[in-house]
């Protein structure tokens, strides 16, 4: 089951993020529960649940009148291949359509490029001209992908 996440869900959201084993050079690995709570308050997010256990997460936030940025997508390794990641991405796309955004943008860490084909299968395309407004200046520049939803 997928449901909206609130800042109060930050500990569960953070546990899922940290369980994916991101490369320690990524700014992702330095994210704290309070960072997640702040981010959820700036936009929103969803958690996927298996009973009482959070097994997937995704966040989003507005970046201007045309762009909704998807971030923090993660699923626990043991539930991958079950469509949870796809369902979480689609939930963010539904928010974008509902709220009148023209596109969904996301950034992939240079240390996590193996996920790019997943997003491409969902209709996202690398856009070398797009800017990820929330890039961490201490990290390598991310690969930016965009999908038109309107």
Question: How do the domains of the chain map onto residue ranges?
Answer: 2-148
pLDDT of residue 140 exceeding 90: no
Residue recorded with tokens 């702040």: 38
What value does the mean pLDDT of the chain take? 92
pLDDT of residue 24 exceeding 80: no
- Supply 117's token pair: 């084909």
Q: What is the pLDDT of residue 26?
A: 77
Residues 62-98: tens digit of each pLDDT? 999 999 999 999 999 999 999 999 999 999 999 999 9
CATH class, range 2-148: alpha beta
Residue recorded with tokens 């298996």: 50
- Supply 14's token pair: 């953070």
pLDDT of residue 129 exceeding 90: no
Of the two residues 134 and 42, the one the predictor is more confident about is 42
**Strands of 125-126's sheet, edge to edge?**
2-5, 44-50, 53-62, 67-75, 103-108, 143-148, 125-126
C-alpha closest to that of 14 among 26, 1, 3, 5: 5
CA 61/CA 56 separation, integer angstroms: 18
CA 12/CA 21 separation, integer angstroms: 16
C-alpha closest to that of 18 among 65, 68, 57: 57
pLDDT level of residue 139 (50, 70, 90 thresholds): confident
pLDDT level of residue 30 (50, 70, 90 thresholds): confident
Output the CA torsion 100→1→44→88 (10° steps): -60
């Amino acid at each position: 089951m997928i449901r909206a996440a609130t800042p109060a869900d930050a500990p569960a959201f953070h546990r899922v993020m940290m369980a994916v084993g991101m490369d320690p050079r990524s700014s992702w690995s330095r994210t704290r529960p309070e960072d997640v709570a702040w981010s959820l308050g700036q936009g929103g997010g969803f958690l996927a649940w298996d009973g009482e256990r959070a097994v997937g997460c995704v966040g989003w936030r507005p970046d201007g009148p045309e762009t909704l940025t998807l971030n923090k997508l993660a699923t626990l390794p043991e539930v991958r291949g079950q469509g949870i990641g796809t369902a979480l991405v689609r939930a963010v796309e539904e928010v974008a359509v509902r709220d009148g955004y023209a596109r969904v943008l996301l950034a992939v860490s240079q240390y996590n490029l193996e996920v790019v084909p997943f997003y491409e299968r969902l209709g996202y395309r690398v856009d070398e001209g797009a800017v990820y407004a929330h890039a961490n200046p201490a990290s390598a520049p991310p690969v930016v992908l965009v999908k038109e939803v309107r």
